């Protein structure tokens, strides 16, 4: 089965084409086309994602990305038949709210032969609603033109399932031999949660942040330290430099909620502690900045590990999967690898390969396939963006 997948929940516009086969227990994928445009440079001057701008950029990028993904998959073929009147009206209604997309859609899609795909998967949430809507309306328009079913995907399920995926070489991926329950630690700019998957696609929330998401804490602390957006990679770079120098740590930041009996998190106190420290110090030297970044990362990694370890014990998890942008963090990856080996060697740790940590459309295709296996289809009339869509 061949799926076209679309992701526009935040500041990455992405379209992929994947070939998928198998069952939930043993699924096989091949990436046929994978196109992505990051808006990071555009949002940088605002110090964060600016929703109206994200929406405009998605609308501008979707058609070129569709062409790129289909062309890579060798599915882009020309056909100059004009759309029938009835189709034109339906698509125009769907794209009414996306003027940038509307024009490009007609210019390009009316020149394109219907590609050999079986379904269209699109992120329905969570994320920024105006951004999600662009992808959804685009997917709906494609579904009308190509007469293909639509599948609504939860972005977090995409992160979790893609964390379970293993590359078997080249563009081939498998998801198999997954020990249940799976514990997912989903850490991104908008989310920090521990979710248990006791059987395929059935979720239970084990813990979550009570205030800021981890990625948000990285981004806010980075901004306080005059580092560019997104802050995670910047803090990581500084901290890694200090780790190489083995300097003595002059700073001490709190490890919020470390000792409490829940699997919940809190990061706003940690962020405030950095703010006070910076106010008190006035300015920091380059070395001190590196040290502060390291102490912040240590505090985050310690709390994330400690809560994950508690959650492993509570759920009896056989698999721990990290997903979301923050799972790209070198130090967090290192801490989890070492701690699992030392304390829970019976648990299989899955951390996605670099390109699958941050948002992409391949993960949406993977999750779309799992939903298709269950016979789930989204309804063209009722499918809506849901910024707060949750897994459990």
Write out the residues near Zn ion by the rule CB under 5 A: 188, 359
Q: Under the criterion CB under 6 A, does residue 232 sit at the interface with ligand KG4?
A: yes
The token duo for 120 is: 């269209």
Secondary structure in 3-state letters for 205-259:
EEEEECCCCHHHHHHHHHHHCCCCCCHHHHHHHHHHHHHHHCCCCCCCCCCCCCC
Q: Could you tell me which of 138, 152, 128, 160 has the C-alpha nearest to residue 363?
A: 160
Please tell me the distance from the alpha carbon of residue 318 to that of residue 320, in angstroms, as a whole number: 7
Q: Under the criterion CB under 6 A, does residue 326 sit at the interface with ligand KG4?
A: yes
Please tell me the distance from the alpha carbon of residue 248 to that of residue 242, in angstroms, as a whole number: 10
* Cβ–Cβ < 8 Å for 114, 131: no
Please tell me the distance from the alpha carbon of residue 317 to that of residue 346, in angstroms, as a whole number: 9
Contact map string, positions 9 to 48, toward ligand KG4, x by CB under 6 A: -x--------------------------------------
Minimum CB distance to ligand KG4, residue 5 (Å): 16
Q: Compute CA 169 distance to the chain's CA centroid, rounded to the nearest angstrom.
A: 23
* Cβ–Cβ < 8 Å for 380, 362: no
- Interaction partner, residue 230 (ligand KG4, Zn ion, none; CB < 5-8 Å by kind): ligand KG4
Please tell me the distance from the alpha carbon of residue 347 to that of residue 343, in angstroms, as a whole number: 9
- How far does the chain reach from its first CA to its final CA, in angstroms? 28
* Cβ–Cβ < 8 Å for 186, 156: yes
Q: Which is nearer to ligand KG4, 176 or 211 (CB)?
A: 211
Minimum CB distance to Zn ion, residue 21 (Å): 26
- Interaction partner, residue 231 (Zn ion, ligand KG4, none; CB < 5-8 Å by kind): ligand KG4
The token duo for 99 is: 């003027």
Q: Under the criterion CB under 6 A, does residue 218 sit at the interface with ligand KG4?
A: yes
Residue 255 exposure: Cα atoms within 13 Å on the Cβ side = 15
Q: Under the criterion CB under 6 A, does residue 135 sit at the interface with ligand KG4?
A: no
Q: Which is nearer to Zn ion, 57 or 102 (CB)?
A: 57
Q: Which is nearer to ligand KG4, 22 or 233 (CB)?
A: 233
- Interaction partner, residue 184 (ligand KG4, Zn ion, none; CB < 5-8 Å by kind): none
Minimum CB distance to ligand KG4, residue 274 (Å): 15
Minimum CB distance to ligand KG4, residue 33 (Å): 21
Q: Which is nearer to ligand KG4, 111 or 330 (CB)?
A: 330
Q: Is residue 233 classed exposed, middle or buried when 0-12, 13-18 and 19+ CB atoms within 10 A define those classes?
A: middle
Q: Which is nearer to ligand KG4, 10 or 312 (CB)?
A: 10
Q: What is the DSSP letter of 2?
A: E
Q: Under the criterion CB under 6 A, does residue 352 sit at the interface with ligand KG4?
A: no
Interacting residue with ligand KG4 among 33, 130, 181, 189 (CB under 6 A): 189
- Interaction partner, residue 329 (ligand KG4, Zn ion, none; CB < 5-8 Å by kind): ligand KG4
- Interaction partner, residue 326 (ligand KG4, Zn ion, none; CB < 5-8 Å by kind): ligand KG4
Q: Under the criterion CB under 6 A, does residue 324 sit at the interface with ligand KG4?
A: yes
Please give the order of strands across the beta sheet that includes 192-199. Answer: 202-208, 192-199, 182-187, 319-323, 348-350
Number of residues that bind ligand KG4 (CB under 6 A): 19
Interacting residue with ligand KG4 among 124, 329, 362, 364 (CB under 6 A): 329
Minimum CB distance to ligand KG4, residue 381 (Å): 28
Q: Could you tell me which of 379, 309, 388 has the C-alpha nearest to residue 136?
A: 379
* Cβ–Cβ < 8 Å for 6, 62: yes
- Interaction partner, residue 215 (Zn ion, ligand KG4, none; CB < 5-8 Å by kind): ligand KG4
Please tell me the distance from the alpha carbon of residue 23 to that of residue 87, in angstroms, as a whole number: 36
Interacting residue with ligand KG4 among 19, 242, 339, 359 (CB under 6 A): 359
- Interaction partner, residue 190 (ligand KG4, Zn ion, none; CB < 5-8 Å by kind): ligand KG4
Q: Which residues bind ligand KG4 (CB under 6 A)?
A: 10, 188-190, 215, 218-219, 230-233, 236, 324-326, 328-329, 358-359
């Amino acid at each position: 089965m061949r799926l076209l997948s679309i992701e526009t929940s935040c500041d990455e516009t992405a379209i992929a084409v994947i070939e998928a086969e198998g069952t939930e227990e043993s699924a096989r994928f091949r990436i046929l086309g994978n196109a992505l445009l990051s808006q990071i440079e555009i949002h940088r001057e605002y110090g964060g994602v600016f929703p109206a701008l994200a929406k405009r950029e998605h609308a501008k990028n979707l058609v070129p990305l569709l062409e790129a993904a289909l062309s890579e998959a060798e599915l882009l073929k020309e056909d100059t038949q004009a759309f029938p009147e009835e189709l034109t009206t339906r698509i125009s209604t769907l794209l009414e709210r996306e003027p940038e997309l509307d024009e490009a859609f007609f210019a390009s899609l009316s020149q394109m032969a219907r590609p050999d795909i079986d379904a269209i998967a699109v992120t329905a949430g969570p994320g920024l609603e105006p951004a999600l809507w662009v992808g959804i309306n685009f997917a709906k328009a494609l579904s009308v033109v190509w007469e293909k079913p639509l599948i609504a995907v939860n972005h977090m399920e995409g992160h979790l399932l893609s964390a379970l995926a293993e590359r078997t070489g080249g563009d081939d991926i498998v998801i198999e031999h997954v020990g249940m329950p799976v514990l997912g630690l989903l850490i991104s700019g908008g989310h920090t949660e521990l979710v248990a998957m006791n059987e395929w696609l059935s979720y239970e929330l084990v813990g979550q942040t009570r205030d800021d998401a981890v990625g948000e804490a990285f981004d806010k602390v980075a901004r306080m330290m005059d580092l560019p957006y997104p802050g995670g990679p910047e803090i990581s770079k500084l901290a890694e430099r200090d780790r190489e120098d083995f300097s003595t740590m002059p700073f001490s930041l709190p490890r919020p909620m470390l000792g409490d009996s829940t699997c919940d998190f809190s990061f706003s106190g940690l962020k405030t502690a950095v703010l006070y420290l910076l106010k008190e110090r006035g300015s920091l030297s380059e070395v001190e900045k590196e040290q502060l970044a390291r102490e912040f990362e240590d505090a985050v990694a310690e709390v994330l590990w400690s809560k994950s370890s508690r959650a492993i014990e509570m759920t009896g998890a056989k698999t721990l999967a990290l997903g979301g942008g923050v799972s790209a963090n070198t130090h967090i990856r290192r801490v989890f690898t070492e701690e699992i080996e030392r304390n829970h060697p019976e648990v299989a740790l899955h951390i996605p390969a670099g390109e699958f940590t941050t948002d992409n459309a391949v993960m949406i295709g993977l999750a779309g396939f799992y939903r298709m296996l269950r016979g789930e289809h989204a309804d063209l009339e009722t499918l809506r963006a849901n910024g707060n869509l949750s897994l459990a």
